Structure 1
Amino acid sequence: MFVGIGFIGMLTSAITSFFTTDTEKSENQRLLDQLEFVTKQNEEIKKRLAAIEQQTRK
């Protein structure tokens, strides 16, 4: 009886782990993509700001 209960518990946790891991990977990838996008925008803003600063110094 205890073996059956233990087996069901392990099976349930393995199934839960399988579905949770995929969701976490998707969420992490989405966050990494957003971070990359924001980083590129930040670089573009820095370039534009440097150009504006050069124009105002002339």
Structure 2
Amino acid sequence: MCEVTVFKRKGSEEVVLLKDVYRFETIFGEQKVFEADIESVSLTENKVVIRDRGQ
């Protein structure tokens, strides 16, 4: 995947919330921001894999 856009469903519409934004925050408030591409997402493994842009 090159880029991910986050949508929110409103009725039958999908409204764009975020484009090209990657922000990670722990439950304790620690934050990290990356310019990266999402390589994979596994909800069953609670895992997101990112890679440097353009690789």
| Fold similarity call, TM over 0.5 | no
Higher strand share: 2
Please tell me the TM-score bracket, short chain as reference. under 0.3
TM-score (norm 1): 0.17
Larger RCO, structures 1/2 (Cα 8 Å, 6+ apart): 2
TM-score (norm 2): 0.17
Bigger Rg, which one: 1
Higher helix share: 1
